[in-house]
Amino acid sequence: MKLQWNIILPLLFVFGFLLNTGEASGQNCSQNNVSVQNFLLLDSNGNPFTSGSNYELGEVVNGKLFVTINVSSSGNAYSTKIFFDLIVGGVNTGRKSICISDKTQLPTGVSIYVIDLSWKWGNLVEVKNLYMSWFTSAGKACSELDETSNSQCYTSIPGFTAELPVLPDFSYTASVCNPVVQFKDLTMGGKPPYTYLWDFAGRGTSTLKDPSFTFPGTGTYAVSLTSTDVNGNSNTIIQNVTIPTLTILVDATPSKLNANTGSIKVDISGGNSPYTIDWLSDPEGFSGSANTVDNTYTIYNLGNGTYSITVTDAIGCKETISVFIDWAQILSNPMSDFKVEIDKSKRMSILNWSTESERTACTFIVERAIADVTHFQEIAEIKSTGFSEMRSDYSFTDDHLPSHEVRVYYRIKQVDGNMQASFTHVSSIMVSGLTDKIGWKAFPNPSVHNKLQLAYSGSLEAKDEKILIKIISPQLQKTFETQATGNFIQLDGPIQLFPAGLLLVEIQYGNRVEILKIFKR
């Protein structure tokens, strides 16, 4: 008898261990006519994450866990409950018991909501020791199911990794005036390893993970990365890559009428000092050069006209800008202390100026030019205080800056009651381009009930600009022009023409082209 107990006790221990893990759970789960296809992570609204999802590695993300069920021809499942260990970032958060169908037939081939979930972006979310149990008729409730129920069942001890779509992303390193740019792949989601296809603004391609590429010179280039996982799922991201050049800030002082008293102050940053400055006026008459300049140089004794200022650094990196010197006129309310500053965090420029006294009413017209000083446009009118012996301070905020990298010039035009006008000097700021996470997004995605809207997350520069939309499916292609209402474009009408499945929506706006992938149900 002693020998018999020594044999039976280990067998009972093994049997008990199998019950605890859900491997047997009192049933033979070998038929698997109802099985789990996969688990998916979707955002808090139940939509797929995209390459435009603005998360950093390690940032806490709130989303939802969904499951997809497969059923064979002989399968028939109603009330269904799943039991599993949820592993987030390598930490077991505990055993879960979730009813996914109660007294109704179990949906198959679609994503079924399981639970709300928070995790750190980049961490794996795993479902292990999975046990699923169900009844084959609609009469019994989900509450009657547990891990030892006398019912149909399916089990998977290894379980699943909750899937994100393939989310291509990349960073890059570019230095001033250096055409060679180093790229670093940041793709996540899907099932790695990935294959890559880089397109460097139509100037070359690469299939390397972290390539480098030599561009023609400084400027901004639209670079795309298409990442494909082992299952053949792929997505594409397009980012603007900027090779910086020298930064030149100019401050021009008007010249008195019929006298060469104007000046241009040039401030230089970036590149390698010392610098050489060359200038040439239009109309001709004023030109010159200064060598071994550190960071600041003022050109004096200049007359009215447009000046071309070229700065060359110690290694030959060159940048040219234009600046306009106007005639100064003496009015009854002379302006002073004109300054322009940029608030990069709020993406706006702030203009300040003042008058020491005002002996008549006048109007201040704020004028702006983009990229050069040959096309100033009025953007605001401000009435003066009028008839004051005290100092008057004025301010204006321009919160409609261009979305691309460009220099923006400002000046204040003062017009008195006799329609005489004078100008402040011209002052400029450098506006940096928006990151590529600013752009067009589509929702809902997947599109249901023929509903689709595009939203632009930045600031549209020209509200009345025509936007070219192209919708493409394997069976159909439509192209049309439209305009944004606010920052939105409604596509409910056009999308009705397309069958269910994957659609590509191409948006041509200004000099940018964006492509969104939409799934229509």
What pLDDT, on a 0 to 100 scale, did the predictor assign at position 343?
A: 86
The whole-number pLDDT of residue 24 equals: 37
Q: What pLDDT score was predicted for residue 19?
A: 32
109 pLDDT more than 80: yes
- Distance separating alpha carbons of residues 336 and 144, to the nearest angstrom: 83
- What's residue 367's pLDDT? 94
C-beta of residue 427 within 8 angstroms of C-beta of residue 251: yes
pLDDT, one tens digit per residue, over 255-299 is 666 678 888 999 988 888 899 999 998 877 788 999 999 889 999
Amino acid (one-letter) located at 366:
V
Mean local confidence (pLDDT), 41-66: 84
What distance in Å separates the CA atoms of residue 209 and residue 227, rounded to the nearest whole number? 10
pLDDT at 23 over 50: no
Residues 131 and 164 sit within 8 Å (Cβ to Cβ): no
pLDDT at 453 over 90: no
Which among 75, 66, 73, 145 is positioned nearest to 105, based on CA atoms?
Answer: 75
| DSSP state at residue 197 | E
Nearest to 95 by CA among 131, 41, 148, 135: 131
pLDDT of residue 463: 59
The stretch 222-245 carries a mean pLDDT of 91
Which CATH superfamily is 331-429 part of? Answer: Immunoglobulins (2.60.40.10)
User: Binning pLDDT at 50, 70 and 90, where does residue 434 land?
Assistant: low
| The predicted structure's pLDDT at residue 309 | 92
Percent over 90 (pLDDT), the chain: 30
CA separation for the pair 141, 464 (Å, rounded): 58
Q: Is the model's pLDDT at 477 over the cut of 70?
A: yes
439-521: CATH topology is Immunoglobulin-like (2.60.40)
Q: What is the structure's pLDDT at 258?
A: 65
The per-residue pLDDT for 39 is: 92
Furthest CA-CA distance within the chain: 124
Residue with tokens 């390539």: 211
Strands 512-520 and 501-509: antiparallel
Indicate if the pLDDT at residue 26 is higher than 90: no
Q: What tens digit of pLDDT does each residue of 396-411 get?
A: 999 888 766 778 899 9
Q: Which CATH number fits domain 2-161: 2.30.30, 3.30.70, 1.10.10, 2.70.50?
A: 2.70.50
Please tell me the least confidently modeled range out of 43-52, 167-176, 207-216: 43-52
pLDDT for 110: 87
> Residue 31's pLDDT band (boundaries 50, 70, 90)?
low
Answer for the pair 145, 106: CB distance below 8 angstroms, yes or no.
no
Q: What is the pLDDT of residue 8?
A: 30
204: pLDDT strictly greater than 70: yes
**Looking at the chain, which residues constitute the CATH 2.70.50 domain(s)?**
2-161
- Residue spans in the chain of domains classed CATH 2.60.40.10: 331-429, 439-521
Q: Which of 47-51, 63-67, 321-325 reaches the highest mean pLDDT?
A: 63-67
pLDDT band at 240 (very low <50, low <70, confident <90, very high): very high
Task: Tell whether the model's pLDDT for residue 170 goes beyond 50.
Answer: yes
d(CA 359, CA 386): 6
Report the distance separating Cα 230 and Cα 310, nearest Å.
52
Return mean pLDDT, the chain: 82
Q: Is the peptide bond before 48 cis (omega within 30 degrees of 0)?
A: no
Query: pLDDT band at residue 80, thresholds of 50, 70 and 90?
Result: very high
Ramachandran angles phi, psi of 176, nearest 5° = -60, 125
Residues 6+ apart with CB under 8 A from 411: 326, 338, 367, 376, 423, 424, 425, 426, 427
Q: What confidence category does residue 456 fall into, taking pLDDT thresholds of 50, 70 and 90? A: confident
In this prediction, residues 360-377 reach a mean pLDDT of: 84
456-462 mean pLDDT: 63
Q: With 50 as the cut, is the pLDDT of residue 13 above it?
A: no
Q: What 3 state SS string does 103-125 have? A: CCCCCCCCEEEEEEEEEECCCCE
**Per-residue confidence band for 457, with pLDDT thresholds at 50, 70 and 90:** low
pLDDT confidence bin for 32, thresholds 50/70/90: low
CA distances from 312 to 176, 185, 290 (A): 12, 34, 11
Average pLDDT (85-89) is 93
Confidence band for 21, pLDDT divided at 50, 70 and 90: very low
In this prediction, what percent of the chain has a pLDDT beyond 70? 86
Q: Note the pLDDT tens digit of each residue in 323-334.
A: 888 766 544 567
| pLDDT number for residue 1 | 35
| pLDDT for the residue 365 | 94
Q: Give the pair of three-digit tokens for residue 120.
A: 């750190």
Mapped onto helix, strand or coil, the DSSP state of residue 508 is strand
Judge contact between 467 and 484, C-beta under 8 A. Answer: yes
Output 194 or 486, whichever has higher pLDDT: 194
Under the banding of pLDDT at 50, 70 and 90, the label for residue 218 is confident
pLDDT tens per residue across span 497-510:
888 877 888 888 76
